[in-house]
Structure 1
Amino acid sequence: MELSLSRLRMLRELHRRGTITAAATALHYTASAVSQQLAQLERDVGTRLFERRGRRVQLTDLGVLLAEHAEEILAAAERATQALEEAGETVAAKLTAGVWASVASGLLPDALTALARTHPGVEVRTRELAPEETAAAVRDGELDLSFVIDYSNYPMTWDKGLERAVIAVERVYAAVPAGAVPAASVMLSELAEHPWIVSPARSHFGQAARLACQSAGFEPRIDHEVEEQATAMAMVAAGLGVTLVTDLGLALRPPGVDIVALGDALTRTVSLAYRTTTARRAALPLVIEAVRTAAAQKGLGADAPIPVQPDSLGLA
């Protein structure tokens, strides 16, 4: 009997999440593809692993048994990968990182180009996710590492099974239509009468923006909810409202947008999250250093403290 690691990973996710749809979403496959691969796994082992209960698929007792062993098998495969990397004369590794738009465009091109020059054996692949999803994907083994964020007024809840390295500390600015704010800086309260363009409330950025406005004494009138800073600034350029933008987002600014310093102190800390087992991989510190160097070259220091909630065990 030959067991496929990818199929065992799908089985593990089905066991963890309860439905094929949820497992497929976590692994970034279609539900149909996961269903087909799990059916093949059942043929590979020659016994029933699943049974249908209405529209749901449930693991049989043998399916649960194999899913529990899958955890051990996948962990052993990760340890074997680390051992091979450590035994080589030069560092050679493939790492998959979770990213979102502003770090993918603002930090990774310089970081990965420099890493390829100094350590050509280290290959970093990326997967774009919402910032709120990346840490959970690392915890569940879908990614080796990911960028995560904390806002000074809204720190993320943290999983103690993960470690992190600070990469950069970004300032947050007001992005307003050209000429709307003639001063060099502005207090958020002075923007209370403007329509706002912000991320949805489910996002870290959206929550941080709302909390900042509330701390300044007003509830923002949100006319537009959009995911990306680039989209928000395009709408600002059209005169549809004001928004907040971070240092890395400034490269995405279109004509017709003024960037104004905030009198209200608000910063964003960008870190790389990874599992404690991944910390032993020789390639990890090389990736961290390359990204830190790219951030430092842009004037973003990584020496500010991380606003951690030490008693939090879950992930936002």
Structure 2
Amino acid sequence: MLDLARLRALHAVSVHGTVAAAAAALGYTPSAVSQQITKLERETRTSLLERRGRGVALTEEALHLASAAQELLAVMERAETALEERRGVPAGRLTVAAFASAARGLLPGALAALGARHPELDVRLTEVDPHLSVDLVAKGSVDLAVAHDWAPPGPGGVPRLPAPHGLAQVHLGDDHCDLIVPAAHPFAGGGPVSHADLRGERWIGQPAGRVCHDWLVGTMRAAGHEPDIVHTAEENPTLIALVAAGLGIAVVPRLGSGALPPGVARAELVPLPRRRLYAVWRAGAARRPAIAAAVEVLREFAPGCGVLPGEERRG
């Protein structure tokens, strides 16, 4: 009989793409994951991983086995959900994925409160790229994800996070975003700045394909001009550091960005950009008390995450 833990390790590699990433998601060392897969190869008498460049790829047999593992893990999840539901107490392991700024600015306090209220719950957090988190939930690699989407350009735009079939989601709150400029920039300390006022500015933004990048390009095009993105970076602190060096301006979410360093200033961009935060989970696990408890705490902590002191919430 095949060992479920070893199948779980293989499934994680198929989802995350590398042994190291699978290990991080499972909370193991890469060596432990490799050992599980080696044992599974012996059990099945089949080669499951093959070298490709500096990484590994799953063989055809491994892909078939990983698909079967996903079905088995789904059955296990339904059984665990039913048992936890009968007990009526949030318990067991709950895996959560979140993008970087949520992992830094929202999850620490929320997870600490969740653990204090439900000591039988073992919560594990993984920081992932925002465009990957929903897919990880859909594939069963994590139980719950905190994801985001930006309000589309134009008046009355309502963001909508695409949710694959079989997933459920709830709006947690909004994260307001600031126009960050060098301290000596004309926008610093001035009046409101419109989208039209941004024509000809040099931008520092996230790479193409990121939600933040798409929002910037779409918003500036809606205002009648193409943004000149001269530098790109993944992390908000890097964007801010580049602004502080006088290399351009940026729109930066407040969640997780921390206090602004010397050399930069907030400018009043109107309308104020915002992104909406969502919790996403598999619909089949909706009855699980752990999911309900986690969503409840996240909804408590998220509303104040992107608001400056004394500022009223919008949206």
The TM tier, using the shorter chain, reads 0.7 to 0.9
Residue identity in the other structure for 1:205: C
Matches for 1:1-316 after TM superposition, within 5 Å:
1=1, 3-12=2-11, 22=17, 24=19, 27-28=22-23, 36-45=35-44, 47-48=45-46, 58-60=59-61, 66-67=65-66, 69-88=68-87, 90-153=89-152, 155-180=160-185, 181=187, 182-264=189-271, 266-298=273-305
CA distance in 2, matches of 1:151, 1:85: 35
CA contact (8 A) 2:254 2:305 kept: no
Describe the shift of the 1:191–1:95 C-alpha distance in structure 2 as closer, same or farther (beyond 3 A).
Answer: same
What is the CA-CA distance between 1:159 and the residue it aligns to?
Answer: 0.9
* Stretch moving more, 26-35 or 288-297: 26-35
What is the CA-CA distance between 1:191 and the residue it aligns to?
Answer: 2.4
What are structure 2's unaligned runs of at least 5 residues?
A: 153-158
TM-score between both structures, scaled by the size of structure 1: 0.80
TM-score between both structures, scaled by the size of structure 2: 0.81
* 3-state SS, counterpart of residue 253 of structure 1: coil
* 3-state SS, counterpart of residue 279 of structure 2: strand
What is the CA-CA distance between 1:92 and the residue it aligns to?
Answer: 1.6
User: Among the aligned pairs, what percent are the same residue?
Assistant: 34
CA contact (8 A) 2:204 2:239 kept: yes
* 3-state SS, counterpart of residue 258 of structure 2: helix
Instruction: Show the counterpart of 2:156.
Output: none
* 3-state SS, counterpart of residue 74 of structure 1: helix
CA distance in 1, matches of 2:9, 2:299: 34
Residue identity in the other structure for 2:125: T
CA contact (8 A) 2:96 2:124 kept: yes
Describe the shift of the 1:249–1:211 C-alpha distance in structure 2 as closer, same or farther (beyond 3 A).
Answer: farther
What is the CA-CA distance between 1:179 and the residue it aligns to?
Answer: 4.0
Instruction: Show the counterpart of 1:309.
Output: none
Describe the shift of the 1:212–1:53 C-alpha distance in structure 2 as closer, same or farther (beyond 3 A).
Answer: closer
Number of residue equivalences: 296
Measured against aligned partners, the alpha-carbon deviations of 1:239-281 in whole angstroms (never above 9, x if no partner) come to 1110001231453522222112222453211101111122121
CA distance in 1, matches of 2:35, 2:87: 37
CA distance in 1, matches of 2:264, 2:51: 55
Describe the shift of the 1:54–1:117 C-alpha distance in structure 2 as closer, same or farther (beyond 3 A).
Answer: closer
Describe the shift of the 1:50–1:223 C-alpha distance in structure 2 as closer, same or farther (beyond 3 A).
Answer: closer
